[in-house]
Structure 1
Amino acid sequence: MEPVAETLLSDTAFCEDIVWGLENIGKIIGQKPHQVHYMLRNGQLPGGQLGKNKWYSSRRALKQFMLDKAAKRVSAA
């Protein structure tokens, strides 16, 4: 595979990994948009803000966050 094709594939994968918007992030983690907003603003969720009202996260980071959260519950029990 040519280097240009590899770059395009990795860019496509990166774009597909990004989740835009509080509602879409909330659907992935089972939370309401206002809860997601609170968690992002307070650093409790992986993600960030672009501009004034555009929030984003990564599907991979959210999945890892949920796995870590579940593991903590199991180890605490």
Structure 2
Amino acid sequence: MATDDMAVPANFELVWGVHEIAKLIGRTPRQTFHMLSKGELPARKVGGRWVAERGKLIAFFMEAA
């Protein structure tokens, strides 16, 4: 198995948890949880915790602007 196939892009960074995602997007944890629960943010639950890719969150808000 080649390691190149599994290389992680340099801009790939995960943001774990509602509080950290909230800090990144400038919202309260409560607002962020509501948005996550409704599927309004590009994130998913992993092992009971919300996780999002930093680049995708930033791109999501740049497209909306």
TM-score over 0.5 for the pair: yes
Q: Which has the higher helix share?
A: 1
Percent identity, aligned pairs only, is: 33
- RCO greater where, 1 or 2, for CA within 8 Å and sep 6 or more? 2
Q: Which has the higher strand share?
A: 2
Count of paired positions: 64
Q: Structure 1, residues 17-75: CA drift from partner, whole Å, max 9, x if none?
A: 111011111111101111111101101100011133x11001111011110121xxxxx
2:8 partner SS: helix
Which entry has the higher C-alpha Rg, 1 or 2? 1
Q: CA RMSD in A?
A: 2.1
Q: Which runs of 5 or more structure 2 residues have no equivalent in the other structure?
A: none
Report the TM-score, using the length of structure 1 for normalisation. Answer: 0.68
Report the TM-score, using the length of structure 2 for normalisation. Answer: 0.79
